């Protein structure tokens, strides 16, 4: 396990992932009944964009920092509220801290909602545990994210979202992911699932879409953002968020915000799109 998210926090991939996640949480809050969020690959929760690791890659400079000081579309409101929650100032040049998915979730979830965080790297799990020490409603487990899907689903609330955000270091990560999803769906077919995936080569993405089309237990869309033209195995040219069982209207909100994210974050060409992979009417 070499991957450390400290090098990548706040990059364009995080902006897409966390924008979609924030919209999902807001949608779940439309009902008063409590819900649960499970983050299977949680990272350390909060990132200092001025630390050596972040400055070495400069990914945030081409990601979240491009948003600072801009007039943001309405749909970025929940995401930006989470960014603001960990910063005293968010103007260009002043934004320093970045909320990873656990901090973003905690910032947007309510008192009675429950947050489950799994992280396998022992050092990162310890940092995460320290980050949330004493915060009610948050459980941190040092464990494999795919095991967490088996051990922790379905949640007692029977409402909520699962974020699956693996590092894609392992060559067979898509295979592990698909196995994990199949397990999760057997246990809890009615949950909302948000799955981040990299766009490097074309074939693995096509195969993942085909898997979702065949096996996802509910309506599913894929929102994709590409910052360069074409495909390259060597670079992260783009990324996607697949959402299984999206709450009402979230597809429209994501579709509305994608062109802004592309305009703001693209490096050389690229594009953005939202496609439905599964529609109930097609399966009926």
Ligand X SMILES: C[S@@+](CC[C@H](N)C(=O)[O-])C[C@H]1O[C@@H](n2cnc3c(N)ncnc32)[C@H](O)[C@@H]1O
- Decide: 220 and 242 in contact? Cβ < 8 Å: yes
> Does a cis peptide bond (omega within 30 degrees of 0) precede residue 183?
no
Q: Check: CB of residue 98 under 8 Å from CB of residue 47.
A: yes
Task: Pick the stretch among 38-46, 70-78, 224-232, 253-261 that binds ligand X (CB under 6 A).
Answer: 38-46
- What are the Cα distances from residue 65, in Å, to 50, 72, 144, 277? 12, 13, 31, 32
Q: How far apart are CA 199 and CA 263, in angstroms?
A: 18
For ligand X, which residue of 3, 87, 204, 228 counts as binding (CB under 6 A)? 3
> Are the beta carbons of 157 and 112 closer than 8 angstroms?
no
Task: Kindly write down the DSSP assignment for every residue of 149-185, as one continuous string.
Answer: HHHH-S-TTS-EEEEE-----STTHHHHHHHHHHHHH
Q: Which of 20, 42, 54, 162 binds ligand X (CB under 6 A)?
A: 42
Among residues 48, 55, 144, 273, the one that binds ligand X under rule CB under 6 A: 144
63 binds ligand X (CB under 6 A): no
Residue placing its CB nearer to ligand X in the complex, 145 or 240: 145
Q: Which one, 31 or 179, has the nearer CB to ligand X?
A: 179
| Annotated catalytic residue 165 | yes
The distance from CA 30 to its chain's CA centroid, rounded to whole angstroms, is 20
Q: What is the 3-state secondary structure (H, E, C) of 223-251?
A: EEEECECCCCCCCCCEEEEEEECCCCCHH
Q: Would you give the binding string for ligand X spanning residues 241-270, x where CB under 6 A is met? A: ------------------------------
Reference 162, options 68, 16, 66, 38; nearest CA is 38
Which residue in 62, 113, 165, 224 binds ligand X (CB under 6 A)? 165
Q: Which residue is nearest to ligand X (CB)?
A: 100
Q: Minimum CB separation from ligand X for residue 97, in Å?
A: 12
**The one segment of 73-81, 116-124, 209-217, 264-272 that binds ligand X by CB under 6 A:** 116-124
| Count of positions on this chain that bind ligand X (CB under 6 A) | 20
Of these, 167, 189, 204, 271, which contacts ligand X (CB under 6 A)? 167
Instruction: Tell whether residue 124 is a contact of ligand X (CB under 6 A).
Output: yes
Catalytic entry in 51, 144, 165, 206: 165
Active centre residues (catalytic): 165
The residue ranges that bind ligand X (CB under 6 A) are 1, 3, 5, 14, 17, 39, 41-43, 100-101, 118-121, 124, 144-145, 165, 167
């Amino acid at each position: 396990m070499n991957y450390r998210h400290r090098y990548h926090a706040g990059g364009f991939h995080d902006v897409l992932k966390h924008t979609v996640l924030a919209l999902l949480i807001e949608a779940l809050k439309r009902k008063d009944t409590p819900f649960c969020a499970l983050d299977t690959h949680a990272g350390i929760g909060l990132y200092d964009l001025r630390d050596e690791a972040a400055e070495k890659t400069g990914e945030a400079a081409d990601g979240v920092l491009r948003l600072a000081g801009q007039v943001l579309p309405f749909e970025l409101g929940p995401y930006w509220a989470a960014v603001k929650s960990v910063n005293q100032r968010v103007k260009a040049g002043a934004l320093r801290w970045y909320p990873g998915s656990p901090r973003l979730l905690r910032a947007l979830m309510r008192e009675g909602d429950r947050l489950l965080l799994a992280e396998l790297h022992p050092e990162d799990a310890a940092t995460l545990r320290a980050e949330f020490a004493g915060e009610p409603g948050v459980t941190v487990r040092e464990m494999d994210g795919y095991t967490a899907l088996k051990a922790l689903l379905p949640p007692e609330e029977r409402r909520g979202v699962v974020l699956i955000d693996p590092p894609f270091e392992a060559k067979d990560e898509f295979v592990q992911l698909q196995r994990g999803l199949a397990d999760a769906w057997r246990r809890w077919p009615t949950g909302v699932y948000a799955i981040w995936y990299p766009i490097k080569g074309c074939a693995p993405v096509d195969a993942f879409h085909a898997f979702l089309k065949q096996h996802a237990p509910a309506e599913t869309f894929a929102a994709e953002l590409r910052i360069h033209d074409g495909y390259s195995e060597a670079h992260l040219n783009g990324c996607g968020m697949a959402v299984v069982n999206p709450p009402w209207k979230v597809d429209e909100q994501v579709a509305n915000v994608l062109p802004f994210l592309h305009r703001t974050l693209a490096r050389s060409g690229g594009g953005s799109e939202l496609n439905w992979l599964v529609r109930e009417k097609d399966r009926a």
